[in-house]
Chains A and B, each alone.
Chain A
Amino acid sequence: MKELLTPRKLVIRVASAGLALVAVMLVCSLIGAESVSLKAAFYGAGAPGAVNPDYEIFVKVRLPRVILATIVGAALACSGVVFQALLRNPLADPYILGISSGAGLGTIIAVLSGFSWTLWGRSPIAVFAFVGALGTVWLVWFIGRLAGKLHVTGLLLAGVVVNAFFSAVIMFLISVAKSEKVHATIFWLMGNMIEEDFFALWIGGGCVLGGILALFNISPQLNALSFGEDDAKSIGVNTARTQTIAFAIAAFITAVAVSLSGLIGFVGLIVPHGVRLVFGPDHRQLFPLSSIMGAIFLVVADTLARTIVAPAQLPVGVVTAIVGGPFFLALLVKYSRKVSWLA
């Protein structure tokens, strides 16, 4: 915006956005294929044998799902901001450096190997997806560093190569796998919101929250990085340290998001742009506001996904693309003068 960001302005904006988020969460947890009334839910669980379906659905299905959407939406949006900043590229999204194919590979391996043990109640798919995502992105980072000084280009190329290679491996594995298992994998990868237990939500939420706060800490440095590494160094930014920290955090929270809900696209790409168009590119604002907007976006998208074709459900990734695309185009047209890379 016109004036410089002050703590007061930031707090006001974040607080308002936060309130909006809470309101959206509440409203969306009351919308669904089945009608649920809040009043009825308040009557509690009911005795065994005469359970209160409003309570059951609201507390055990809706709320966890809405909270999950909040966490995943926030994580993906923040991660999108980071990758766009590090790669200085408006087309970057959280999956650009191999996270998607890494998660996919992890998932397929988990399904095919038939592991049935669980880690703290997390299914093996989630664990393998997490490991796959994180491992792959570090592989890309490592290869990119080897490529030398032209850091950004090296990273992008490494990402392309790794994505291509892992996708080929995935297709090979799919072709030799039994068909029902493959079906399950594909569904999972398309993005699914199911009710996680509150422990997983708490821990996952904590990871994402911590990531957002840490990224806020290095926001001024990321602002400077927009001008290139040389320029940023002249302003006193330790570029190697900033890039590594930002990258590590973004990779981690994306891996958490993917392990919780599969691959959901578009959120990490367009939410940062939307926030930038309205509020400006200052990262101190981008991180908190993108997280909240990302959360709102995904909660709404998920609500649509589970109500439009009820009693069936659309994969959430479909809705984010269909809803997100036109919405973003409208925003772009309205603010087109602000966008330098369009000019």
Chain B
Amino acid sequence: MNKWLALSLIILCWMAAGFAIFGFQQDQNRNDTPLPTQADRIISMAPNLTEILFALGLDDEIVGVTLGSDYPSATGKKTKVGTFWQPNIEAVIAAKPDLVITLGFDQQRNLAARLKRIGYNSLILDIEKVSELFEATKIIGAATGKQREANELVSDITTKLNKLSALVSTNGRVKVLWVVQREPLRVAGRDTFVNEMIELAGGENAIEPTMHKYPPIGAEQVIACKPDVIIEPAMDQKDPVGQQANALQYWSKFENVPAVMNKRIYVIAGDTVSRLGPRLYEGTETIAQCLRPELFAD
């Protein structure tokens, strides 16, 4: 039994030493460090954040973006720091940032936590709703010394959206089914920013409120909800005409659905409707053009 006793003692000493040397390592940085008011080297971990930064005129200060950040084209020259889902923390550090901006969902929150642990400040922003987009823009503005530009951007978008709403708020909303994935069939639910854009464009979601944000649905719900319009964001950015034809053919099997009967199936190219960012108005306008083509006939 002696060797077991000796072993236990050794381990106990090891653990005690660990506690002595490192302490409990509670997040010492738990106390919120005050937000910066000026940043010279900014890293954006999401495409919509990148767009906001450019829209605020911070192109020179941006030192790193993720691989998916493709708008505006100036992003092509920026250092890439991994992808949206798999950030490369080494690249982040190598870029010597003084401010890292991430989104609020778990994967990115983890990154922010890791960075905080090694001493880098991150700004975590939830951008799930339009109101959050505006708020995030203002927070970024405050943190980078661009409050004026931020306020201008927000009011600019708001004004344009209001004008659009006035234009399309005739009686009768158009029922829209927004399909994000074909197999298995997934649509955008009511608790999404897409839904907000649809409503701003004068439509309403054909699907009732659901538990999931992007619920999987079956064919019978497609028929039951009788959408006037079916919209799919484009799979890739090439050959929009081909994708449109493909979509028409795919949905033709739902012959009794109003959207199919009236051939009102649209494939919207571009990221303006996939990202909640400064091009919110462009995206909403595109949707409105699909819902009320007669209003935009010019």
B22 near A312 (CB under 8 angstroms)? no
Q: A118-B27, A195-B89, A312-B67 are in contact. Are A111 and B106 (CB under 8 A)?
A: yes
Does B93 belong to the interface (CB within 8 Å)? yes
A206 contacts which of B18, B23, B117 (Cβ < 8 Å)? B18
Which of B27, B90, B107 has the most chain A CB atoms inside 10 A of its CB?
B90
Does B91 belong to the interface (CB within 8 Å)? yes
Closest to A52 in B: B96
Within 8 A of B (CB), among A55-80: 56-57, 60-62
Closest to B105 in A: A180
A178 near B96 (CB under 8 angstroms)? no
A312 near B21 (CB under 8 angstroms)? no
Does A236 belong to the interface (CB within 8 Å)? no
A residues contacting the other copy or chain, number (CB 8 A): 44
A199 contacts which of B7, B22, B98 (Cβ < 8 Å)? B22
B14 near A313 (CB under 8 angstroms)? no
B3 near A56 (CB under 8 angstroms)? no
Complex Cα distance, B165 from A51, in Å, reads 50
B90 contacts which of A57, A123, A200 (Cβ < 8 Å)? A57
B94 near A184 (CB under 8 angstroms)? no
Does B270 belong to the interface (CB within 8 Å)? no
Within 8 A of B (CB), among A161-215: 176, 178-181, 183-184, 187, 194-195, 197-200, 202-203, 206-207, 209-210, 213-214
Q: A194-B114, A199-B18, A209-B14 are in contact. Are A57 and B80 (CB under 8 A)?
A: no
Does A274 belong to the interface (CB within 8 Å)? no
Q: A121-B27, A183-B85, A311-B81 are in contact. Are A53 and B94 (CB under 8 A)?
A: yes
A24-64 interface bits toward B, Cβ cutoff 8 Å, 1 = contact, 0 = none:
00000000111000000000000001010100110011100
Does B211 belong to the interface (CB within 8 Å)? yes
Does B251 belong to the interface (CB within 8 Å)? no
B residues contacting the other copy or chain, number (CB 8 A): 44
Within 8 A of A (CB), among B76-94: 80-83, 85-86, 88-91, 93-94
List A contacts of B83 (CB < 8 A): 311-312
A312 near B88 (CB under 8 angstroms)? yes
List B contacts of A60 (CB < 8 A): 93, 118-119
A217 near B213 (CB under 8 angstroms)? no
CB distance from A195 to the nearest CB of B (A): 7
CB distance from A185 to the nearest CB of B (A): 9
CB distance from A194 to the nearest CB of B (A): 6
B25 near A210 (CB under 8 angstroms)? no
List A contacts of B93 (CB < 8 A): 34, 53, 56-57, 60-61
CB distance from B226 to the nearest CB of A (A): 26
Closest to A35 in B: B94
A206 near B90 (CB under 8 angstroms)? no
Does A120 belong to the interface (CB within 8 Å)? yes
List A contacts of B250 (CB < 8 A): none
Does A11 belong to the interface (CB within 8 Å)? no
Task: Give 9 nearest A-B pairs by CB, closest first.
Answer: A199-B22, A184-B106, A202-B18, A199-B25, A210-B11, A60-B118, A206-B14, A34-B94, A311-B88
Question: Could you list 18 examples of A-B contacts with CB < 8 Å?
Answer: A32-B90, A33-B91, A34-B90, A34-B94, A123-B113, A180-B105, A180-B106, A184-B105, A184-B107, A187-B107, A194-B89, A197-B117, A198-B22, A199-B24, A200-B25, A311-B81, A311-B91, A312-B88
